[in-house]
Structure 1
């Protein structure tokens, strides 16, 4: 089902799509292994891939299988990532170790973007971006997603950052790192489960074609001084967001529980997501699934517009 690329195993369907100018959308695998509860995670992973297909694209879910970075997974490999207990969470710095040890691994936003770029994929859909953690001035806890975006020319569609993070600090870091942030039909930065994090955006676009043009112009005009990605913030509709009162109560309880149990580092996000899922009676899962599928749809449309516009740049 797969063929070998240079350092990567690229699924033939992905290769064919790239060669025929069919839109390809990279998808992360950490959401499958660590972000969604079983058994929903496998079903949702398939639904996200199908969303890309339904809008004329080819999904490229990225993971590491037996030490081999894979761009595009078979259904059997998708099931392995969803159901196996020995799938480790991999950032960029972990990829070499995983390859040397022959591990199964799920890729973070940073690692997914890195491998997708090596496969000449321009667009990536995820749920929420990593960012600056609360109390980072003491812990120095900042997601590697931010520095990866500052170095990888990738258009990333997300629903903002999770509310467990320090949103204003994250936006400041993105500015410092020269990563443009565009709102899709919004002038407010979304807060993952919530449509509005309370922080304004400088730039907003109403159409995928406009976003594609701005992305291509950024890559052309900022290089060689800057070779950064672009973040496209796509909010969950207000009518579908988590109830804000419920959200704030659960968030405070989740942060207190994490502090009490000494949860830190890369274990924080999975812990808090599971807390939200359990304490909201599945409402957070409903919102999570909806926003990721909406991001996959928008990413596919942007990828198609980039293909159409690129020869004219």
Structure 2
């Protein structure tokens, strides 16, 4: 099975120029239509503004695409047949020639296959609240433990069990770097209430970590936590009250497993009157800019 790599991306990889992978789940499932298509293009523009080539990743007509042309991007944004696809689903979806938007796990996997070193997203998946009983944990974590891609994110979504997620990342040998912060971000919030062990203050430091890990044959990915800007952060009091209400609503509605995250994100969107969505878009753009700077430093 061959990847279809967009000519611009292929040329950049061939010549050693910086490339940044972008996930597509945010386009299909994370943003409302028709804004999702516009925002997807704006995120790609953010990567370009930082001096790197964007490579949005998805499966279209059963073909894993590394970099999307306008028609493919529109399919991901507008086609109702597009499903959310993780690594375990890739083979089945490709065999069935379906359309899929890639999660952090699937995007990391395909980016690595294509030779892309840096990936920008919004927030990682992690260990869900109540996982002691449900065993509900995102495949993002185990995939990053075996996939040497540097992921720039705003921490994990605050609806998850942050403490348990950090413990799992430690167990899985996935390093967590705080970009100009000593605190682990909580997606909508700049500080989740937990510390990070390592801090980096410029893209060159991240690139040095990447090169050192490659020389030492460390197979896991690297998480670079870029907190949402203070002016974009969701009000903490509002966040905490909405989270409590959302968890109660999910429990009452019997929402379980992989359906919890989209339920709570939609609950946040409605309860904050769209403010949470604005925060989401702002932090993804910021992560795209930082990922581009890291990719440029790594290429140099």
TM-score for the superposition, normalised by structure 2 = 0.98
Q: 2:249 aligns with which of 241, 247, 257?
A: 257
CA distance in 1 between counterparts of 2:147 and 2:296 reads: 20
What's 2:108 paired with?
A: 113
CA distance in 1 between counterparts of 2:122 and 2:205 reads: 22
Measured after TM superposition, the shift of residue 238 of structure 1 is 2.0
What's 1:311 paired with?
A: none
What's 1:233 paired with?
A: 225
> Does residue 102 of structure 1 match 2:97?
yes
What's 2:134 paired with?
A: 139
**RMSD (Å), alpha carbons:** 0.9
What's 2:10 paired with?
A: 15
> Does residue 217 of structure 1 match 2:217?
no
Is the Cα contact below 8 Å between 1:219 and 1:228 reproduced in 2? no
**Structure 1 runs (4+) greater than 4 angstroms displaced:** none
What's 1:295 paired with?
A: 287
Q: 1:245 aligns with which of 227, 232, 237?
A: 237
Q: 1:170 aligns with which of 165, 178, 191?
A: 165
Aligned 1:264-283 pairs, distance under 5 A: 264-283=256-275
CA distance in 2 between counterparts of 1:238 and 1:53 reads: 24
**What secondary structure is seen at the aligned counterpart in 2 of 1:238?**
coil
- Note the residue ranges of structure 1 that are not aligned, 5 or more in a row: 1-5, 309-313
TM-score for the superposition, normalised by structure 1 = 0.94
CA distance in 2 between counterparts of 1:107 and 1:297 reads: 20
What's 2:74 paired with?
A: 79
Measured after TM superposition, the shift of residue 239 of structure 1 is 2.5
CA distance in 2 between counterparts of 1:164 and 1:92 reads: 23
Is the Cα contact below 8 Å between 1:8 and 1:71 reproduced in 2? yes
Measured after TM superposition, the shift of residue 152 of structure 1 is 0.3
**What secondary structure is seen at the aligned counterpart in 2 of 1:231?**
strand
- Note the residue ranges of structure 2 that are not aligned, 5 or more in a row: none
